[in-house]
């Protein structure tokens, strides 16, 4: 069941589509399909209200959850990031990676919708967005906080790099 009217969205440098939202699941989970370019690495962050599991559908991704030691996951594999644990990931494959982000209690899908824009086409944004301005970082940080997500560091920061 897809979030009505959401369709594919450009979520920073990624293409995202909400497959199941919190409301449709009875307030227990959300599922978001995310396609990411090679080298993609979101800011180090922690979900205060959601546990998060990732199912890698295509490509290869290193997950860092609570440690600077990566868990490298290829297509068909799964990684887990419990709520309250700082985490990030990095796309390792030469081509894009595609994965499902499954979150309980499910507020992550609402953040994706709020922080993205409808995609003109079901492809990664081209050209990729440039570095965010200070105002954009402040706006995303505030928006993330509204959805139980605390940003701890810039892209490239690992869990052992931040005091949390």
Q: What is the pLDDT along the chain (164 residues), one digit of tens a residue?
A: 444 447 999 999 999 999 999 999 999 999 999 999 999 999 999 999 999 999 999 999 999 999 999 999 999 999 999 999 999 999 999 999 999 999 998 899 999 999 999 999 999 998 777 788 889 889 999 999 999 999 998 888 999 886 54
Q: What is the pLDDT of residue 29?
A: 95
Model pTM?
0.92
- Say what the pLDDT of residue 1 is: 47
Under a CB-based contact definition with an 8 Å cutoff, are residues 16 and 31 in contact?
no
What letter does residue 128 receive in the DSSP assignment? P
13-21 contact pairs (CB < 8 A, 24+): 13/37, 13/40, 13/124, 13/125, 13/128, 13/129, 14/40, 14/124, 14/125, 15/119, 15/122, 15/123, 15/124, 15/125, 16/112, 16/116, 18/109, 18/112, 18/113, 19/100, 20/109, 21/106, 21/109, 21/110
Q: So what's the pLDDT on residue 162?
A: 60
CA distance 18 to 55: 15
Write down the pLDDT at residue 155: 87
The pLDDT value given to residue 163: 55
Residue 161 is predicted with a pLDDT of 81
% helix, strand, coil for the chain, step of 5: 15, 40, 45
pLDDT at res. 41: 95
Phi, psi angles (nearest 5°) of residue 108: -60, -40
Continuous segment of H or E residues that includes residue 89: strand 87-91
């Amino acid at each position: 069941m897809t979030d009505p009217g959401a369709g594919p969205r450009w979520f920073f440098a990624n293409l995202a589509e909400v497959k199941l939202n919190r409301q449709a699941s009875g307030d227990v989970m959300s599922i978001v399909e995310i396609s990411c370019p090679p080298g993609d690495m979101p800011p180090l962050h922690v979900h205060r209200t959601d546990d998060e599991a990732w199912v890698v559908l295509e490509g290869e991704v290193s997950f860092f959850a609570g440690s600077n030691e990566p868990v490298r996951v290829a297509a068909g594999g799964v990684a887990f990031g419990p709520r309250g644990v700082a985490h990030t990931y990095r796309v390792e494959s030469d081509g894009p990676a595609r994965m499902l982000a499954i979150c309980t209690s499910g507020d992550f899908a609402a953040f994706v919708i709020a922080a993205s824009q409808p995609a003109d086409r079901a492809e990664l944004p081209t050209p990729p967005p440039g570095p965010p301005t200070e105002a954009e970082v402040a706006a995303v940080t505030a928006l993330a906080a509204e959805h139980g997500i605390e940003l701890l560091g810039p892209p490239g920061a690992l869990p052992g790099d931040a005091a949390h």
